[in-house]
Amino acid sequence: MAHTGSTEPVRIGIVGLGTVGSGVVRLLVDSADHITRHAGRPIEVAAAVVRDPAKDRDCTLPAIPISTDIATISQDPSITIAALLVGGLEPARSMMVELLENGKDVVTANKALLAEHGPELFELARRLGRSIAFEAAVAGGIPIVAAIGECLAANRIESIRGILNGTSNFILTRMEEDGSSYAEALALAQAKGFAEADPSMDVDGTDATQKLAILSHLAFGVWVPWKEIPRTGIDTVDIDLIHYAAELGYRIRLVAVARRSNGRLAMRVAPALVKIGTPLAETRGAYNAVSIVGDAVGRMFFHGLGAGQMPTASAVVADIIDTVVGRTAITFRTTGLLSADTPAAKLAGGDASERHFLRIVVTDRPGVLARITGILGDHGISIASVIQHDPIATGDAPATSIPPDVALVIMTHSCPSSAVHEALLSIDRCDAVRGKSVCLGVLDE
Amino acid sequence: MAHTGSTEPVRIGIVGLGTVGSGVVRLLVDSADHITRHAGRPIEVAAAVVRDPAKDRDCTLPAIPISTDIATISQDPSITIAALLVGGLEPARSMMVELLENGKDVVTANKALLAEHGPELFELARRLGRSIAFEAAVAGGIPIVAAIGECLAANRIESIRGILNGTSNFILTRMEEDGSSYAEALALAQAKGFAEADPSMDVDGTDATQKLAILSHLAFGVWVPWKEIPRTGIDTVDIDLIHYAAELGYRIRLVAVARRSNGRLAMRVAPALVKIGTPLAETRGAYNAVSIVGDAVGRMFFHGLGAGQMPTASAVVADIIDTVVGRTAITFRTTGLLSADTPAAKLAGGDASERHFLRIVVTDRPGVLARITGILGDHGISIASVIQHDPIATGDAPATSIPPDVALVIMTHSCPSSAVHEALLSIDRCDAVRGKSVCLGVLDE
């Protein structure tokens, strides 16, 4: 290690030469002098493993031995660190196990792998005296893993709020700024390379939820299987909702939240209204943002590119440097991340109170508003404001005597989510109500 | 150290029990469980050294031996880490030397000491195999030292911009939001404890400049004596300037800037116009903010409380934990901070281009505007907009035939600062110009 005085190059293996993998190789080559200064010794890419060696690759990359066999890295004793930069669960999981069992420290950007198999992989690494670094797995270039795990170590974290999925945020920003439909904005995100051909893990909230599970472990010292976190994606957001929110002074963002609530953790990933002018509302395009409240430090806010080749590569290489100099090993051992005795998170139910934004589409006839506000009142829900909009255009249908549909947009005062959901069950059963009503949480600061 | 398996308490000494020192003791006591988990072993306050033991102290603090003699810490072999939490240069410098020479690792929040004596103290620590940690010295609770030194280690940093002095920012925000005069806002800052009885180091930009010198060393690997950095304080800002800026869509902030410019570093601390809606403009009250551009990571933004008891204590305790577990020693040795071979920064002159905001007070008579814009044109300065305001009220003086004074507010297109300053020298020599004109840089993103 550098601080022992060795200046021999460290040899690393790269598993996966996709967008992030080639970014890491490029950064290690282009910024070699700079990186050597921080690592105390040169870092040399010794070998790469890919699925399809015939695939076209960035021809500006240096010539490195490329193989399809993980053994070319795992069995090479001169390689001490492997960067595992493939997505998905398999073969990523088996590769990580093989690398650890053969004495490699691992750096990864694979949040799905950690959210799904983190506990077993971390236990294995600890048992073998190895480390796993994963700054790049959450919020790309934002050093949020180090911030929570090290810099805020003296704090009891009260809450985390984040915009953790750049694809969703890009789509919502385009809808809001261009008036595009969800489908148009998604197509643009795909054309620009911000969304995968199959964007479902991004837009259904899976990706953000897996990241929230990892951050919550760091912040609260508990483990929560990501599938237990309530999750709603942005595929439920239409352009009308964005317009109504704007009218009230809000934008819609896919927000991941974890906060202490009566000895439990209230967690969710869902579209929410965020007040214009607050930092989350000003987070646009492919940017990510994280706001953390610690008991000593107060509110901290971090903003940066959450995805993309070089921001993610920057985080991977910082982890490689930390592993070379020995900081990763220390953090991994002292904080006991994801150890066998990590307690399971106790999730709070829907009884946490906040303001809610409701959109209820109704047939425009006398008494409907009274009926709906009556049901809300019966559930103890107090209304802050109501907007009833003009009848919804029904294409070029001729005027008839059938009453048109109108949208009721209601902002409540703070009340338990459970009460709102029960009220909406009754409301959605009313004859006059069309389709399923929408309910979003409201974040005023 | 924790990672060697010891679970014995680490004994630390606290030098200075002022606001920050008592915050550190309180945090170590109140959050002991949490801190022990991160440090791998308990951290125990063994002794404190103060200037005046008779002074009233926070009676909720635990009983610890208090002395006026630094030897009670430096000569106690059971104490391995000292937190040096006194301000100013002496006796802080001598105490730091004594602590290092007696084998203590030191954690400090004293930015003046590092900006003034950093190179000699860091060399001494390195020679003795000791470390100095200083996260709390810059931007309080924002973990900017770790972010630049470790998390962004793979990046070539292009620029840093920061709001680094909470007192100045509090004063500017109060003037802007309440319409207070500078003197009223300063008095309020003092009443609220945000400003010292002698606030000169804050409002004249010294504090922010010392912090910028430290951050620039971390980011650019060079050393610049803080006195060489061009510096203007907020004592030059009056309420009229704030109103004119607002009219143009800007706020005024004390901004510390360091950026690469043709192989040199352009650095300054000065009030600047920042566009409303950008993160620096939205940084209010005692908050600090830092925006960094790295070649790989792009633009990162950090926002948090930059001063105050517990945010600063949070950073000090994080450093204590890092020192206990051994991360500080690694960082200190591998990055060669402030070593003898650190090159001196080459500062750029005033030839860097940007937009400028000018306020020129003139006697309102024919031909003056033509004269002034003519001088600007002669210096190659192109004007983006001009506002000429109504005559300045001169108290309750009776109307006379003497032409009144008016303020010309001019926004230039991008041009070299040196050209603007030369033009202003000519302008200020004109008969019609009253007093010294004001020139502020403009930050549009």
Which pLDDT tens digit goes with each residue over A61-93?
A: 778 889 999 999 999 999 999 999 999 999 999
Domain A353-443 coded CATH 3.40.50.850: no
Q: Residue B287 corresponds to which tokens in the numbers above?
A: 């908050």
State the amino acid at position A327 in one-letter form.
Answer: R
CA distance A208 to chain B (A): 20
- Contact with chain A for residue B360, Cβ under 8 A: no
Interface test with B, best of A151, A163, A280, A322 (most B CBs within 10 A): A151
Residue B91: asked if its preceding bond is cis (omega within 30°), the reply is yes
From the list B12, B16, B18, the residue with the least C-alpha distance to B68 is: B16
Nearest to B256 by CA among B300, B210, B297: B210
Give the closest-approach CA distance of B91 to chain A in angstroms: 28
Whether the Cβ atoms of residue A151 and residue A281 lie closer than 8 Å to each other: no
- B13-24: string of b/e by CB count within 10 Å (b at 16+)? bbbbbebbbbbb
Residue-level pLDDT at A362: 93
* Helical segments of B204-291, H only: 206-220, 239-247
Residue with tokens 């070089």: A310
- A2-137 adopts what CATH topology? Rossmann fold (3.40.50)
Mean pLDDT of chain A: 90
Specify whether A211 is catalytic.
Answer: yes
A1 has pLDDT over 50: no
| Residue of chain B whose alpha carbon sits nearest to that of A141 | B297
CB A322 within 8 A of CB A315: no
Rounded Cα–Cα distance for residues B42 and B35 (Å): 7
Provide the pLDDT confidence category of residue B339 given band limits of 50, 70 and 90.
Answer: confident
Half-sphere exposure of B189 (CA within 13 A, CB side): 31
What's the pLDDT score for residue A160? 96
What's the rounded Cα separation, in Å, for the pair A425 and A440?
15
Percent of chain A with pLDDT over 90: 72
pTM: 0.91
**pLDDT tens digits for range A348-383:** 876 778 999 999 999 988 888 999 999 999 999 999
Q: Beta strand pairing status for B405-412 and A264-275?
A: unpaired
Instruction: Name the CATH architecture for the domain at A155-305.
Output: 2-Layer Sandwich (3.30)
Give me B405's structure tokens: 């004074």
User: How many angstroms separate the CA atoms of B301 and A74, rounded?
Assistant: 38
ipTM score of complex:
0.90
Distance of residue B167 Cα from the nearest chain A Cα, in angstroms: 17
> Given phi > 0 = left and psi -120 to 50 = alpha, else beta, which region is A35?
alpha
Q: Which pair of tokens denotes residue A51?
A: 């699925």
Token digits of residue A146: 């180090």
CATH 3.40.605.10 fits B157-305, yes or no: no
pLDDT over 70 (residue A227): yes
pLDDT at A195 over 50: yes
Q: What confidence score (pLDDT) does residue A394 get?
A: 52
CB contact under 8 A, A298 and B315: no
Reply yes or no on whether the pLDDT at B46 is more than 70.
Answer: yes
Return the CA Rg of chain A.
25
Give the B window 255-314 contacts with A, CB below 8 Å: 277, 279, 282, 294-305, 308, 310-311, 313-314
Q: What is the dihedral of CA B231, B236, B239, B245, to 10 degrees?
A: -40
- Asked if the peptide bond before residue A143 counts as cis, ω within 30 degrees of 0, the response is no
- pLDDT of A4: 47
Q: Do B325 and A314 touch (CB under 8 A)?
A: no
CA atoms within 13 A on the CB side of A344: 7
The residue ranking higher by pLDDT, B194 or B24, is B24
Comparing A391-405, A427-441, B234-248, B291-305, the range with the smallest average pLDDT is A391-405
Cα(first)–Cα(last) distance of chain A, in Å?
Answer: 45
Which residues on neighbouring strands pair with residue A69, listed in sequence order? none
Q: What is the mean pLDDT of chain B?
A: 90
The structural domains of chain B, with segments of one domain joined by +, span: 2-137, 157-305, 353-443
Is the model's pLDDT at A238 over the cut of 90?
yes
* Sign of the torsion formed by the C-alpha atoms of A425, A431, A436 and A438: negative
